């Protein structure tokens, strides 16, 4: 154990030195390279946004002007030639199925139909894949269902028996985002229009960082070189990897304790989902109530699994709290006066995506970013959230509108 601990310590120091060197170089040449700038900070980058981009790239009639080039590469790379060279392919998103479900991406032609279920972060719903398969089977003799995700389809979505049967019959293909990234590499090479090639490259970089959890290429190269310098370094790397989940759990518990202590000073109440402890399922989150009567409260939530797609705002506690458009508007107006423009839904009178004026972009996907974890360790994140809660309380209290957050 002493040898392993020593190897881990030496590896961490070596990697820290190399990454710090890269960061310093970035700072020096930031104005010339703008390596942190990406168009996806300004575009819809949730599950539906990703589906729309993939669908547009596959559509021979889309505005990219590359015709069926991307579709042909998709056939080669993902579906092993299943797609014919027919020129009547039509592509759409959110295809209604059985009146309740929607297939994320839907391709149809005289040659057959293809449904793509896109799962960059979300989890499967009960009987979801088998329902899609039954729908496709009913609507064309030649059909294919593609499950796009870095995790295996859940047994609740499709049983092992049905999955095996459909895979053997050639009607079901499971594809991960690493394969999709390779497809985008090929698309970029074949793209004739410079602006389209830049977009494809940017989209590919987004997938690598935010879905596949890959490091910046220069960082990754340096880290891998350091790990492969010795057998002990490889062993140390696995020790570190195996400890990461427990480290995140410990840091989340620290955040819980920090917030509980800070909130108690003002008589505030911490709301902490069980999903924040270790499951990290979609919609896990935490927040703060100013009193026990509140049925709408300040909340931080993750729209994806594994603590990804973070956002925050004012949310009702559960379905028993009735949606009231008039009250929602007043809350939204007050939040805008304190925090700026935000969106609204039946669950959220006001909410904001990250990044925004209050939270930096590194807080959006906690799975891949070290920034929120460091700021938990040094107490900065808890302090920022506490200050934001006080601003919200004082803003509503000043207007005599705290009652709006209660039934």
Question: Which residue is listed with tokens 């004026």?
Answer: 357
- Enter the tokens of residue 36: 């942190």
302 vs 129: CA distance, rounded Å: 24
pLDDT reported for residue 25: 53
In a structure prediction context, what are the per-residue pLDDT tens digits for the chain, which is 407 residues long? 444 555 656 655 665 655 565 455 555 655 555 556 667 766 667 888 999 999 999 999 999 999 999 999 998 888 876 766 567 889 999 999 877 799 999 999 988 999 999 998 777 888 999 999 999 999 999 999 999 998 889 888 999 999 999 999 999 999 999 999 999 999 999 999 999 999 999 999 889 888 887 765 556 666 667 777 777 766 666 767 777 788 899 999 999 999 999 999 999 999 999 989 877 888 899 999 999 999 999 999 998 888 988 999 999 999 999 999 999 999 999 999 999 988 999 999 999 988 888 998 889 889 888 899 999 999 999 999 999 999 999 999 998 989 999 87
Q: Is 342 helix (H, G, I), strand (E, B) or coil?
A: coil
128 vs 131: CA distance, rounded Å: 5
pLDDT reported for residue 361: 83
Question: Which residue is listed with tokens 């007050």?
Answer: 334
pLDDT reported for residue 121: 79
Phi and psi at residue 98, to the nearest 5°: 55, 20
pLDDT reported for residue 124: 82
pLDDT reported for residue 333: 94
pLDDT reported for residue 220: 66
- Enter the tokens of residue 271: 């709301």
pLDDT reported for residue 1: 45
Contact (CB, 8 A) for 117 and 148: yes
393 vs 379: CA distance, rounded Å: 21
In Å, how far are 6, 345, 346, 349 from 325, measured between CA atoms?
60, 10, 8, 9
Transcribe 14-53 into DSSP letters.
Answer: HHHHHHHHHHHHHHHTHHHH-TT--GGGSS--SHHHHHHH
344 vs 328: CA distance, rounded Å: 8
Distance of CA 164 to the CA centre of its chain: 29
Q: What is the pTM of this model?
A: 0.67
216 vs 371: CA distance, rounded Å: 15
349 vs 343: CA distance, rounded Å: 8
pLDDT reported for residue 3: 45
pLDDT reported for residue 263: 96
pLDDT reported for residue 305: 83
In Å, how far are 166, 261, 294, 330, 404 from 407, measured between CA atoms?
50, 27, 7, 14, 7
Phi and psi at residue 261, to the nearest 5°: -65, -45
């Amino acid at each position: 154990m002493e040898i392993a601990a020593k190897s881990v310590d030496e590896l961490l120091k070596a990697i820290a030195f190399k990454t710090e060197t890269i960061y310093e170089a970035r700072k020096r040449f930031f104005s010339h390279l703008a390596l942190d700038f990406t168009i996806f900070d300004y575009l819809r980058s949730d599950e539906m946004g990703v589906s729309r981009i993939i669908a547009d790239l596959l559509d021979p009639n889309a505005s990219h002007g590359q015709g069926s080039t991307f579709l042909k590469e998709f056939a080669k790379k993902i579906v092993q030639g299943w797609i014919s060279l027919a020129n009547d392919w039509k592509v759409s998103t959110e295809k209604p199925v059985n009146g309740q479900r929607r297939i994320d991406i839907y391709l149809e032609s005289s040659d057959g139909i293809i449904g793509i279920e896109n799962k960059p972060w979300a989890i499967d719903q009960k009987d979801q894949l088998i329902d899609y398969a039954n729908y496709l089977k009913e609507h064309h003799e030649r059909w294919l269902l593609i499950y796009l995700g870095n995790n295996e389809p859940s047994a609740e979505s499709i049983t092992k028996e049905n999955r095996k049967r459909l895979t053997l019959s050639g009607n079901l293909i499971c594809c991960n985002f690493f394969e999709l990234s390779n497809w985008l590499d090929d698309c970029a090479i074949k793209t004739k229009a410079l602006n389209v090639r830049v977009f494809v490259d940017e989209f590919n970089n987004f997938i690598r960082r935010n879905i596949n959890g890959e490091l910046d290429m220069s960082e990754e190269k340096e880290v891998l070189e350091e790990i492969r310098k010795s057998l002990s370094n490889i062993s140390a790397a696995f020790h570190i990897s195996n400890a990461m989940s427990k480290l995140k759990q410990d840091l989340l518990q620290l955040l819980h304790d920090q917030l509980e202590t800070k909130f108690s000073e003002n008589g505030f109440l911490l709301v902490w989902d069980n999903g924040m402890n270790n499951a990290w399922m979609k919609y896990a989150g935490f927040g703060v109530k100013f009193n026990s009567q509140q049925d709408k409260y300040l909340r931080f939530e993750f729209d994806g699994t594994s603590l990804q797609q973070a956002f925050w705002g004012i949310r009702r506690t559960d379905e028993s709290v009735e949606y009231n458009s008039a009250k929602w508007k007043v809350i939204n107006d007050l939040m805008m006066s304190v925090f700026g423009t935000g969106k609204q839904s039946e669950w959220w009178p006001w909410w904001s995506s990250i990044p925004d004026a209050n939270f930096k972009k590194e807080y959006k996907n906690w799975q891949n970013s070290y920034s929120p974890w460091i700021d938990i360790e040094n107490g900065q994140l808890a302090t920022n959230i506490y200050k934001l809660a006080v601003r919200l309380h004082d803003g509503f209290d000043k207007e005599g509108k705290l009652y709006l957050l209660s039934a």
